[in-house]
Structure 1
């Protein structure tokens, strides 16, 4: 017998769970809602961690997500066990809770480097407010910073730290920053933006080890022997879906590392259980039924909305086209809809040199994704073409 029961249980302290709670109330849900978060803080927006919060222009309070007053939030609390048969969970405070419907949105964990010297002081990972707080304090007395990784975390952190007066080098495995998601053409543009503000980009190379004097990092040593001075390191080498609870409960884990779900975001083989956010590996109608897993806050919020409606009986597929955005300080910004799982052509409109352009990613003559920089182009039109399988406007 459970200690108590709730109508809607939300497991996770990120935007997927928070948006689900908001949408439940907006859609007329009157039942009890319990949000359980292992985080120290109530749900908040994560993008500012590498931007405004890290740069000191945004407070922690400004990033908090408003929740309905009658939503119960348990922070610093983990779900230790999930029983799919009885629809109950056991919390870290020993309480057992039965649920009618539940959302599993446990997010992701940062991928940590496994090389010599990772134990040295001054090596940071960014995922939560606490990580940013430690980095901000540590950065006050240093000048030379190395950001390892050429995706969102590495590039955005490099830009923000440069605005704080640091001398930053970005080291990446790929030929160009953000190449994996957006291709070489956009990657070269990102490199140019960074380099234009004094950031050195070292590409096509692996970090071999960190070296230090005493307990503190002092150098990043690359494969081939090159050494870069580093009084502080920010490692942004990706995340892995946090499926520990899901795996323990017997849920199906997919090839992309997430929890398998159908087009309505219902977890396979689990009555009343939905998944959203970084762990959701679902059958995407937008991508022709392909199995997709998307790591970005904006899409996690969209999934939270779909889950809320389905918890209330809507039985709708998740047809929102995933949306992404990135800001490199106040130097450049771009929006992206997709993602393109693969493409065979890139159609450029606008002027890359001016930072105002659109790139259409095309697969078999159909728009698979669209990137808009500097406000160029129509993102809503991009979403429409992706959803309908249309050709890029320049081909019409």
Structure 2
């Protein structure tokens, strides 16, 4: 009898899980149920290369239709899964169709956090998440016009950088006392504040948005202090929410994400989950994490695929992320929360190339690498192998990064 694996969602995780299933030996049917009317596509370039017109839709696709056809992966596009019946092992679509499964993979990803403010539904007020979102922004992103970005996190700053490159006058509004306050150190906030200022972006921190005003299109943003800022386009980037409702309603364990073990198995032995929607145990940081990154999604998907084929390949990848802004490639290794000391390698006050090392108990727990590929590559080992290191050596650029790695190994050496 032919077995069926249904994959809910067409995220980065889904795009990896489907071919990985074949690689692990799954001979049955693979059917991907996609909310959007498109095959899985790369999301990071949406607000950069795609918005700038450097890539088209075809260039965004993770794999072509022909590639999926070759390995026998089917798609139902533009459908929404409304419910999972675990006892009957079926899912119900918004079309009314009921599909049976033997194994189920939840790759539901995440969605933007929306604002509930007056005027939030005015034309010209946008979010940065999907292909449709960016297509709408393209219509309003015109040179010599005014753009306001609400939110000074990485998504907001990346959007600001691209809108500036398109010739718009850009203002970023951040409620916290500094940009990137939730995700990085004051030093990195200061660096990106300087960079955006040098590029002509107006950054305003400690300011709350009260609403959006206009007639048939947004015209200005009203701030809580009464300030009115002209706006022909507004981009709201205030974070994302994991899509866990489907899993929760099916009775799966959920807590800031769908709870999975190190094999990406949920509380149901026939259901796995991978990507932004999951909360997984991390051996290196000895805590549960919900990560919002492409590397996490693709690596978890490989583990989930193995589990569906009754193989155990634990997920122990080192968290890493990236952000592209102007001429800057920021690569982040690990998580800096709880750091005790920061060590800078390179000129971060004036230049645009340096690395920030975050230390705890004398060991590097995270690194921010700004246009520093060597520090990024070697830094992965410093973090994953829990190496205790002299801060003075870290800061000394006359010492090559490779010379900072001791000869002996470490139990975490196998981390990807």
User: 2:295 matched to which residue of 1?
Assistant: 298
Q: Tell me, which stretches of 5 or more residues in structure 1 are unaligned?
A: none
CA 1:264/1:33 → structure 2, altered by over 3 Å: closer, same or farther? same
Residues 13 and 35, structure 1, Cα contact 8 Å, conserved in 2: yes
- Please state how far the C-alpha of 1:79 moved relative to its aligned partner: 1.5
Partners of 1:386 and 1:83 in 2: how far apart?
Answer: 42
The Cα offsets for residues 301-347 of structure 1, whole Å up to 9 and x where unpaired, read as: 11111211222222122101122111013x21111121234322212
Partners of 1:207 and 1:220 in 2: how far apart?
Answer: 7
User: 2:313 matched to which residue of 1?
Assistant: 316
- Please state how far the C-alpha of 1:391 moved relative to its aligned partner: 2.8
User: 1:333 matched to which residue of 2?
Assistant: 329
Residues 358 and 377, structure 1, Cα contact 8 Å, conserved in 2: no
User: 2:89 matched to which residue of 1?
Assistant: 87
Among 340, 347, 351, the residue aligned to 2:347 = 351
Residues 147 and 168, structure 1, Cα contact 8 Å, conserved in 2: yes
The Cα offsets for residues 266-319 of structure 1, whole Å up to 9 and x where unpaired, read as: 112x0121111111011112322x010001222211111121122222212210
Residues 358 and 376, structure 1, Cα contact 8 Å, conserved in 2: no
Is 2:212 the partner of 1:210? yes
User: 1:48 matched to which residue of 2?
Assistant: 45
Among 71, 76, 85, the residue aligned to 2:73 = 71
Partners of 1:351 and 1:83 in 2: how far apart?
Answer: 57
CA 1:304/1:395 → structure 2, altered by over 3 Å: closer, same or farther? farther
Partners of 1:317 and 1:294 in 2: how far apart?
Answer: 17
User: 1:258 matched to which residue of 2?
Assistant: 257
Partners of 2:178 and 2:27 in 1: how far apart?
Answer: 50
RMSD: 1.9
Partners of 2:390 and 2:374 in 1: how far apart?
Answer: 10
TM-score normalised by structure 1 residue count? 0.92
User: 2:266 matched to which residue of 1?
Assistant: 267
Partners of 1:101 and 1:285 in 2: how far apart?
Answer: 27
Residue range with higher mean Cα deviation, 126-135 or 336-345: 336-345
Secondary structure in 2 aligned to 1:378?
helix
The Cα offsets for residues 180-238 of structure 1, whole Å up to 9 and x where unpaired, read as: 212111111111111111001101111122222x2322221222222211111000011
User: 2:106 matched to which residue of 1?
Assistant: 104
- Please state how far the C-alpha of 1:45 moved relative to its aligned partner: 0.4
CA 1:311/1:341 → structure 2, altered by over 3 Å: closer, same or farther? farther
Q: Tell me, which stretches of 5 or more residues in structure 2 are unaligned?
A: 394-416
- Please state how far the C-alpha of 1:163 moved relative to its aligned partner: 0.8
Q: How many residues align?
A: 387
Alignment of 1:189-204 (within 5 A): 189-204=191-206
Partners of 2:54 and 2:381 in 1: how far apart?
Answer: 35
- Please state how far the C-alpha of 1:392 moved relative to its aligned partner: 4.7
Partners of 1:218 and 1:392 in 2: how far apart?
Answer: 54
Secondary structure in 2 aligned to 1:73?
strand
The Cα offsets for residues 224-276 of structure 1, whole Å up to 9 and x where unpaired, read as: 2222111110000111111121111111111xx211111221112x0121111
Partners of 2:25 and 2:152 in 1: how far apart?
Answer: 43
Partners of 1:246 and 1:226 in 2: how far apart?
Answer: 43
CA 1:96/1:346 → structure 2, altered by over 3 Å: closer, same or farther? same
CA 1:178/1:6 → structure 2, altered by over 3 Å: closer, same or farther? farther
- Please state how far the C-alpha of 1:173 moved relative to its aligned partner: 1.7
Partners of 2:231 and 2:337 in 1: how far apart?
Answer: 36
Is 2:364 the partner of 1:367? yes
Partners of 1:176 and 1:128 in 2: how far apart?
Answer: 27
Alignment of 1:276-287 (within 5 A): 276-287=274-285
Secondary structure in 2 aligned to 1:278?
coil
Partners of 1:342 and 1:102 in 2: how far apart?
Answer: 37
Residue range with higher mean Cα deviation, 190-199 or 351-360: 351-360
Partners of 2:331 and 2:202 in 1: how far apart?
Answer: 24
TM-score normalised by structure 2 residue count? 0.88
Residue range with higher mean Cα deviation, 364-373 or 74-83: 364-373
